[in-house]
Amino acid sequence: FFFFFIKMSPSVQCVIGPNKVIDIVSTHDQLLGGNDNQVYQGAIFPANTQYNITLAAEGKKIANLLADKGALGRFAIDFITVLQSDGSWKHYAIEINLRKGGTTHPLLMLQFLTDGKYNADTGEYLTASRHKRFYFASDNVSGEKYKGLTPDDLIDISIFHNLMFDGATQEGVMFHLIGALSEYGKFGLLCVGSSPEKAKAFYDKTIQIMNLECVNPV
């Protein structure tokens, strides 16, 4: 019998408020890339339903220790989460980032757009109207063919293809880091959906449309 270990790279984002009040504001599955597969590329929110509740519980243990030592404000804890032979998941904390990080701004964007909140006890994010929302976010979408495209071009393309976030349905795509688009061919995006699959579909559709709309310079 052979058991192949499956490893994930989730994170927990916490806020320690006055009087040591702790809020677990999110869990994410981090998307890693680069030559050594250790460069942050983006994130899926919330983290996998198989382990996001136990992951948040481990994050809260660490937050309690930090609060006792006088830490205050927003921070994130990176984990390696490994599937065990009995089907459970074991979490190994590997890094604490005492600052805002790559998972901060997509979460804040979602909160501003939907006026919702993450419940660490259920592993769900609910909007103000009590609807579940998920996102697939990246701050590192890039390509040579995107160079020379202006932010206005990007918005025009997204509106034409009905990609932009819709306030009525509270689904769709929001762009950021678009100041780097023209010179570096790089931008970020937040894809919000009523299911993880729909959020990822918004991302795939956006990349497909961008690649069709843009051509490499001659």
Whether residue 184 contacts residue 151, with contact meaning beta carbons closer than 8 Å, is answered with no
| pLDDT at residue number 29 | 96
Q: How far apart are CA 78 and CA 94, in angstroms?
A: 6
Cα distances from 105 to residues 27, 124, 142, 218, in angstroms, run: 13, 18, 19, 36
| pLDDT at residue number 67 | 96
Query: What SS3 state is found at 46?
Result: coil
Name the nearest CA neighbour of 135 among 45, 5, 75. 45
pLDDT digits (tens, 9 = 90+) for 69-82: 999 999 999 999 99
Before 46, cis peptide (omega within 30)? yes
CA count, 13 A, side-chain hemisphere, 208: 8
Residues 19-52 as b or e (16 or more Cβ within 10 Å = b): eeebbbbbbbbbbeeeeeeeebbbbbbbbbeebb
User: Side chain identity at 151, as an amino acid letter?
Assistant: P
| pLDDT at residue number 5 | 72
| pLDDT at residue number 14 | 97
Question: pLDDT tier at 217 (50, 70, 90 boundaries)?
Answer: very low
- What average pLDDT does this structure show over 15-42? 86
Q: How far apart are CA 42 and CA 192, in angstroms?
A: 14
Asked if the model's pLDDT at residue 1 lies above 80, the reply is no
Asked if the model's pLDDT at residue 34 lies above 70, the reply is no
Predicted TM-score (pTM) of this structure? 0.91
Question: pLDDT tier at 38 (50, 70, 90 boundaries)?
Answer: low
| pLDDT at residue number 216 | 53
| pLDDT at residue number 115 | 97
pLDDT digits (tens, 9 = 90+) for 141-178: 999 999 999 999 999 999 999 999 999 999 999 999 99
| pLDDT at residue number 33 | 73
- What average pLDDT does this structure show over 17-41? 85
Whether residue 36 contacts residue 64, with contact meaning beta carbons closer than 8 Å, is answered with no
pLDDT digits (tens, 9 = 90+) for 86-119: 999 999 999 999 998 888 999 999 999 999 999 9
pLDDT digits (tens, 9 = 90+) for 190-215: 999 999 999 999 999 999 999 999 87
CA 21 to chain centre: 24
Phi, psi of 120 (to 5 degrees): -70, -25
pLDDT digits (tens, 9 = 90+) for 45-71: 999 999 999 999 999 999 999 999 999
